[in-house]
A and B are shown apart, each in its own frame.
Chain A
């Protein structure tokens, strides 16, 4: 098991290095950089010293050096915990992300928990009572859920909140708590606001997961070992939850790593933009538009780390649940 974890960790490290390099290349792709944009702005304002100001900044940020030097400097500093400086905010990237990282992770976790808490019981019910009225209702709802992406749902909910209820659902905190230090009251306030964006982002994933859970369980229920469990006179509940579901849930854990997490990370980013939440998503999009390259690059690496850590955890859970995996 230790061997397996080490191998996976080594793989994750290689991936992060590759992703950071490719990410950096992509961000350097657009012609020009933040400073050329700024130069134009200064010129438009008629600033005489524009050129010399920009040259000074260029030297300060090291943008006049060759590509590989820029990348290595950034990567080496990255390991030391210095992610470079954001051009547009003129603050260290570390501080900007630090403010938002917790919320990003909390939102992703909340989405994940809501998805699973909803999808597994509904999927199991749907399979156990196949073709019942409940199954048909759940199936219809899950199909609609698959079809509605989070950010469009967020727009629709925003529409209802503003036009019908005349209320604001924006942000994660009430006004009095936005700048307040952390306290029990603030956490409760956060939970009151958090469930809306989390539920919105969870809808798409839940729909898909219900379908998969239902299909897997239906297949498992037809197998001889379930029959054997019944023949031994176990209670129906035990047969389903302790025997069938334990086997049927494995593919879900695989999906958790490979499909669910990227979906949640991307989906949360879009929903955050609609609902104006203080997560990394809106910051990232803004940094891409403004060619704020160290900020954008660090965001990409963070998204990837989030994804890889999630994948690793999913694989470990799978190895723990299904001993056959470890041998491969």
Chain B
């Protein structure tokens, strides 16, 4: 990190012979195919789900239809008579009573075909909250208002499950980022002060993290989440949950930053900065903290999955987010019961989405960990 302290004129001269730390990191990262794939998956998911959910999802989050608990329709190219069509289509749904299950079910009716089109008109929406639109990525076009496409089935209210997963992902994926952002802020500031000054702050940070680690963390999350008043608005509940997740998790990061600062503050460049008359806060935030950033980023990336999963687990237990908020955890609330697994197993698609996100983060984080140390030969 010595490069960070060179002033700009020296940097300019050196540019021809050496690369900056971050470009070395980027080179090394690029070579790790698994990490790049992980990062790419995440980028695509965040863009599609967090920004373009309204466009990707064929229906609105709360669009109720007359097809509750319908199976996913198969996307077909061949119809029952063996005719091939280049444009994929789905069969319409028909209500039937299943004698064995003693239940109303929906089965595909090969007489009715709905061709699938791209960029169809559907439920109106506002992209990012202000760009109005009504074009959806895909859907069926038919004169029949009861024509729907449910590629992942529907829930008990007849809402398209694929749309709900896409919208639910927005809250789940953002809580990971937002919570981790708060953790980084708490953790690195308190860790830096604790490592640099020592004394009372250090005592507090050390004891506090020790105390938090005496609690088993999942039961602690549950107890704190259960304390969020039921009458709060959904937005307040969401932010409170984020703060709880960050509050319990910042200790580990603070301890790591503290350890790094303890070793960095003895370096000559800090002495140089001090003799040049830099203030304590300048040394801490301009000279010391940037030196810990690579570690912080790696730790943060690797702990985002834990945060997403905590939200999922809490909401699934009914202690975190509640309807009308829709997150992956809230979707699991309905899908995770024995009844639901028996009769509407397609709702477990949520699990697939969660696992893809978690895996992608782990792949990315692991690659970052190797890349952040570009000077090693490995």
Contacts and interface: CB of A to CB of B under 8 A. Distances in A.
A261 B216 CA distance: 8
Contacts of A300: 215, 219-220, 223
A26 B223 CA distance: 7
A156 B336 CA distance: 10
A264 to B, nearest CB: 9
Q: How large is the interface on B (under 10, 10 to 19, 20 to 34, 35 or more residues)?
A: 35 or more
Interface in A223-241: none
Nearest to B358: A147
B309 A149 contact: yes
Contacts of A265: 216, 218-219
A147 B364 CA distance: 12
Contact of A159 (B218, B319, B348, B358): B348
Contacts of B230: 30
B112 interface: no
A27 B219 CA distance: 12
B180 to A, nearest CB: 17
A202 to B, nearest CB: 16
B362 interface: yes
Interface in A151-175: 151-152, 155-156, 158-159, 162-163, 170
Contacts of B281: none
B317 A155 contact: no
Task: Give the one of B228, B309, B317, B363 with max A CB within 10 A.
Answer: B317
B338 A170 contact: yes
25 contacts: A15-B211, A15-B214, A23-B215, A30-B226, A143-B366, A144-B359, A146-B362, A148-B355, A151-B313, A152-B351, A152-B354, A155-B341, A162-B341, A162-B342, A265-B216, A265-B219, A266-B216, A267-B218, A273-B317, A288-B222, A289-B226, A300-B215, A300-B219, A303-B215, A306-B216
A319 interface: no
Nearest to A258: B213
A83 interface: no
A212 interface: no
Contact of B362 (A143, A288, A307): A143
A307 B216 contact: yes
Interface string A258-271: 10011001110110
Contact of B222 (A158, A284, A307): A284
Given A26-B227, A30-B226, A147 B305 contact: yes
A308 interface: yes
Contacts of A159: 341, 345, 348
A199 interface: no
A44 interface: no
Contacts of A270: 218, 313
A40 B214 CA distance: 37
Interface string A125-153: 00000000000000000011011110110
Interface string A286-328: 0011000000100110011011100000000000000000000
Considering the complex of A and B, which 4 residue pairs feature the smallest CB-CB distances, nearest first?
A266-B218, A29-B227, A288-B226, A265-B216
Main SS class of interface, B: helix
Nearest to A267: B218
Main SS class of interface, A: helix
Interface of B: 211, 213-220, 222-224, 226-230, 305, 309, 313, 316-319, 332, 336, 338, 341-342, 345, 348, 351, 354-355, 358-359, 362-363, 366
A1 to B, nearest CB: 23
Contacts of A262: 213, 216-218
A31 B229 CA distance: 6
A144 B358 CA distance: 10
A274 interface: yes
A190 interface: no
A253 interface: no
Nearest to B219: A303
B84 to A, nearest CB: 32
Interface of A: 15, 18-19, 22-23, 26-27, 29-31, 143-144, 146-149, 151-152, 155-156, 158-159, 162-163, 170, 258, 261-262, 265-267, 269-270, 273-274, 284-285, 288-289, 296, 299-300, 303-304, 306-308
Contact of B336 (A23, A155, A163, A303): A155
A43 to B, nearest CB: 17
B137 to A, nearest CB: 28
Nearest to A163: B345
Contacts of A27: 223, 227
Contacts of B348: 155-156, 159
Contact of B214 (A19, A146, A149): A19
Contacts of A296: 223
A152 to B, nearest CB: 5
A106 to B, nearest CB: 17
B305 to A, nearest CB: 7
Nearest to B226: A288
B44 to A, nearest CB: 18
Contacts of B362: 143, 146-147
Contacts of A285: 222, 317, 319
Nearest to A154: B336
A277 to B, nearest CB: 13
Nearest to B210: A15
A81 to B, nearest CB: 22
B214 A162 contact: no
Contacts of A149: 309, 313, 358
Given A30-B226, A155-B351, A269 B338 contact: no
A14 to B, nearest CB: 10
Contacts of A15: 211, 214
Contacts of B317: 273, 285
A304 B218 CA distance: 12
Contacts of B220: 300
